[in-house]
């Protein structure tokens, strides 16, 4: 190879590597449909460009293409170390055992994050690590297709897999524009790789691909505005409004273990977020809620709770498992928390706990809390005058269906007190014709928690906790009773350790729940339970005055509010409970929905076997044709096998010329079977008589070709055959 040829070779190698990197950058734009922000694109492209550039640089001095791919893998691994585990490596680049442990943890975190989050997901460190692993797999697969097996057309397979990742997660998450632009970049790869097209002529199209690859990830819009339309992760992830994706969390095929806790006596409802603003779309926290700067070691008294209301002081130990995000599950009403890691704050009106910089995952903490125990007499005697600022708990959207207010008045308008009205509303749902269903709202298109769906829910009388809680809170507001919606967990399943007799409660994602809280002056916020077949209604003490006619009963000691427990058996339509002796399990990490990136990594090796499979099928068809009397397929199979093994063979030579050429490269002692086969081919070509050809003659010739080749050539011919996808241009 002269200097001009070497220069052209280097230009084509670098050009092909560059255009493949650009194509990957364009195809990566498809991931914008499943990730909330574009910062992940830069580490992704860093890995891609280092991989392709390293392979191209090595090929300037090494003619063996596979060496460039091998060195590129090593370079990509060093980049991963620098980006994700430099503090564990020697000099920041030489991996140690701790480095691989870090990688394993990142992969586990990413896999768990994908399984837990709703899409588009937050691109946390674990997910970015998996994306970069996928970048290495895609880049190496394309490099091997273009340079090792010399089939640039196969670079489209890894690109197609990258494009299909959003569709594997959810069928509608595909982008025709990204598909079209990736197709253009793929055409650029074929043009640059083609020996018939000069690199200079192909680069205008490559330049277009460059502009597209740099702008597509930035210009592509998100699927929906996350905070408004619920495309952010749900409660068990990092969502801003936990009620938005509660329906999706409840419809999980397999429940996830959320947390465990120990408590004094019965289990407790655990509150995560308080939603007090109600509009057309949903219930949401007030702007500024959950942003207090108050530390969690001491909480204020619950709003509105008068000193004369009896209360019980308790403690609870909580261990978080799969919840991850800014909210912390706590009972009502917390008075102090200890043992938390990071900065956590309480919100004064709802007494919820949240963080800005920390995370609830794996937290272990102890909560001190009080359980108010008002009597029915106290609740009925609560004044109707509200404190200043409580008007917001009565606000209703103008789009609220008329049926909501009309139904509230019909059900509870004639009750003498607001507490009696609240009980009437609860009974309307709990004891009426309503049924629990997670599917009916989705089927009939009234899923969600906004004002518009309440009319449909009251007519259909079928829904899940969000509908029941939203409807009762809205109906209470039409009766001038302050109301809000709370999202959290029902008490879970009680478990007793047979050895220690320790009682623990296990909560899974099946215990996710929403319920209304209503406000009564001098009493405070009281939980109600309108949802059919889920949880239990609160109970209240009957009297605070000792009745002298019953000397054996001291009525002055009110019965404390009964803490609800999970329903052991659910009625038809309710969300099923787990058996008491079983804990919830996580979905299989290898499922498509849970981890499409692992599917990508597993699929690539399988796809790389496609050339070998195609070649095997083609050989079988030709030998079958030979068994039926055909002659020409036999010689085509010999020529293709020789090409796969690396023999120098002209496509325009006659069979005799090709045979002589092969004989010179193989050695005379190994060409007897080839000469016998050539004789049959020439007789078939020039003689009117049909001479049968035995299949064993063909297989013997193929065996001779392999026997005269090196083991490397045989390995390459078997797993990366050059002729798998049709005839190629052979050397002259």
Give the closest residue to 244 by CA, choosing from 290, 288, 281.
281
Tokens of 393: 């708990």
Here the tokens at position 187 are 């055409």
Task: With a cut of 80, say whether residue 407 has pLDDT above it.
Answer: yes
Give per-residue pLDDT as tens, 50-106: 999 998 888 877 667 788 888 999 999 998 988 888 888 888 778 888 989 888 888
Domain boundaries, the chain: 3-223, 246-527, 609-719
Bridge partners (DSSP) of residue 262 are: 317
| CATH number of this structure's domain 246-527 | 3.10.620.30
Q: Give dist(CA 26, CA 215) in Å, integer.
A: 9
Q: What token pair was written down for 315? A: 């403690």
Q: What is the pLDDT of residue 51?
A: 92
Give 516's contacts (C-beta < 8 A, 6+ positions apart).
469, 472, 473, 476, 483, 484, 485, 486, 527, 528, 530
Please, what's the largest Cα pairwise distance for the chain? 127
pLDDT above 70 for 496: yes
User: How much is the pLDDT for 224?
Assistant: 37
pLDDT tier at 200 (50, 70, 90 boundaries)? Answer: low
Residue 110 sits at the vertex; the CA angle it makes with 109 and 115, to the nearest 5 degrees, is 100
Is pLDDT at 608 greater than 70 in this prediction? no
How much is the pTM?
0.54
Q: What's the mean per-residue pLDDT of the chain? A: 76
Task: Read off the pLDDT band of 720 (50, 70, 90).
Answer: confident
Nearby residues of 564 by Cβ (< 8 Å), 6 or more positions away: 266, 267, 269, 490, 491, 529, 535, 536, 537, 538
The pLDDT assigned to 468 comes to 92
Per residue in 112-139, pLDDT (tens digit) is 677 656 556 677 788 888 889 988 999 9
Element spanning 178, H or E = helix 176-193
* pLDDT, position 559: 45
pLDDT per position as a tens digit, 215-258: 544 444 433 333 333 333 344 443 445 665 666 666 665 567 88
What phi and psi, each to the nearest 5 degrees, are found at residue 258?
A: -95, -50
| Range with top average pLDDT, 135-144, 448-457, 578-587 | 135-144
* 477 pLDDT more than 60: yes
- With H, G, I as helix, E, B as strand and everything else as coil, classify residue 239: coil
In a 3-state reduction of DSSP, which class is residue 592?
coil
Per mean pLDDT, which range of 127-131, 211-215, 650-654 is the poorest?
211-215
The contacts of residue 604 (CB under 8 Å, 6+ apart) are: 137, 138, 141, 158, 161
pLDDT mean over 618-647: 85
Picking from 235-244, 263-272, 463-472, 656-665, which range would have the lowest pLDDT averaged per residue? 235-244
């Amino acid at each position: 190879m002269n200097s001009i040829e070497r220069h052209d070779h280097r230009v084509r190698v670098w050009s092909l590597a560059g255009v493949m990197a650009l194509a990957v950058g364009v195809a990566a734009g498809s991931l914008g449909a499943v990730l909330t922000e574009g910062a992940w694109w830069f580490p992704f492209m860093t890995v891609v460009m280092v991989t392709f550039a390293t392979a191209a640089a090595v090929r300037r001095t090494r003619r063996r293409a596979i060496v460039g791919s091998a060195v590129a893998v090593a370079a990509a691994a060093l980049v991963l170390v620098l980006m994700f585990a430099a503090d564990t490596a020697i000099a920041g680049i030489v991996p140690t055992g701790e480095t691989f442990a870090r990688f394993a943890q990142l992969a586990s975190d990413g896999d768990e994050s994908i399984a837990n989050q709703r899409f588009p997901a937050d691109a946390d460190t674990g997910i970015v690590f998996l994306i970069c692993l996928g970048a290495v797999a895609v880049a190496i697969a394309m490099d091997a297709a273009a340079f090792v097996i010399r089939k640039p057309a196969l670079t489209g397979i890894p690109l197609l897999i990258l494009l299909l990742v959003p569709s594997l997660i959810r069928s509608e998450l595909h982008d025709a524009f990204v598909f079209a632009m990736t197709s253009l970049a793929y055409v650029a790869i074929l043009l640059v790789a083609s020996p018939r097209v000069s690199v200079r002529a192909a680069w205008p199209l490559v330049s277009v691909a460059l502009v597209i690859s740099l702008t597509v990830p930035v210009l592509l819009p998100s699927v929906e505005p996350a905070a408004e339309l619920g495309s952010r992760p749900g409660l068990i992830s990092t969502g801003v409004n936990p009620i938005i994706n509660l329906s999706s969390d409840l419809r999980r095929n397999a429940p996830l273990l959320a947390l465990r806790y120990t408590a004094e006596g019965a289990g407790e409802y655990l509150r995560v977020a308080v939603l007090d603003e109600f509009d057309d779309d949903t219930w949401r926290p007030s702007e500024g809620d959950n942003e207090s700067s108050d530390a969690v070691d001491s909480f204020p008294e619950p709003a509105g709770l008068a000193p004369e209301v009896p209360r019980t002081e308790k403690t609870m130990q909580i261990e978080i498992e799969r919840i991850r995000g800014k909210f912390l599950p706590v009972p009502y009403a917390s008075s102090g928390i200890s043992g938390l890691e990071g900065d956590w704050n309480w919100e004064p009106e709802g007494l919820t706990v949240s963080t800005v910089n920390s995370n609830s995952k794996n937290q272990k903490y102890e909560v001190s809390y009080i359980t108010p125990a008002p009597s029915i007499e106290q609740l009925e005697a609560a004044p109707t005058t509200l404190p200043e600022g409580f008007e917001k708990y009565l606000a209703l959207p103008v789009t609220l269906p008329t049926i909501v207010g009309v139904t509230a008045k019909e059900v509870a308008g004639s009750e003498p007190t607001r507490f009696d009205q609240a009980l009437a509303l609860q009974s309307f749902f709990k004891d009426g014709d309503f049924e629990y269903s997670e599917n009916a709202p989705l089927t009939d298109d009234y899923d969600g928690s906004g004002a518009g769906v309440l009319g449909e829910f009251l007519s259909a009388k079928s829904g899940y906790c969000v509908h029941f809680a939203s409807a009762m809170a809205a109906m209470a507001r039409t009766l001038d009773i302050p109301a809000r919606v709370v999202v959290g967990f029902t008490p879970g399943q009680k478990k007793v350790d047979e050895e220690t007799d320790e009682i623990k409660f296990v909560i899974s994602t099946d215990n996710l729940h929403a319920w209304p809280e209503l406000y009564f002056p001098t009493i405070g916020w009281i939980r109600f339970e309108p949802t059919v077949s889920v949880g239990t209604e609160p109970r209240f003490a009957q009297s605070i005055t000792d009745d002298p006619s019953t000397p054996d009963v001291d009525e002055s000691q009110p019965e404390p509010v009964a803490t609800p427990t999970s329903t052991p058996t659910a009625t038809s339509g309710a969300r099923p409970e787990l058996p008491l002796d079983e804990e919830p399990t996580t979905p299989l990490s290898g499922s498509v929905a849970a981890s499409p990136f692992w599917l990508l990594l597993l699929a690539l090796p399988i796809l790389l076997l496609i050339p070998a499979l195609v070649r095997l099928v083609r050989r079988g068809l030709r030998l079958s044709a030979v068994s039926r009397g055909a002659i020409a397929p036999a010689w085509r199979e010999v020529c293709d096998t020789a090409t796969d093994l690396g023999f120098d063979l002209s496509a325009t030579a006659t069979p005799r010329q090709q045979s002589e050429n092969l004989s010179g490269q193989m050695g005379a002692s190994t060409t007897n079977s080839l000469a016998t086969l050539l004789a049959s081919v020439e007789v078939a070509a020039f003689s009117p008589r049909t001479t049968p050809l035995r299949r064993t003659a063909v297989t013997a010739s193929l065996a001779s070709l392999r026997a005269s080749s090196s083991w490397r050539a045989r390995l390459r011919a078997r797993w990366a055959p050059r002729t798998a996808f049709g005839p190629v241009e052979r050397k002259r």
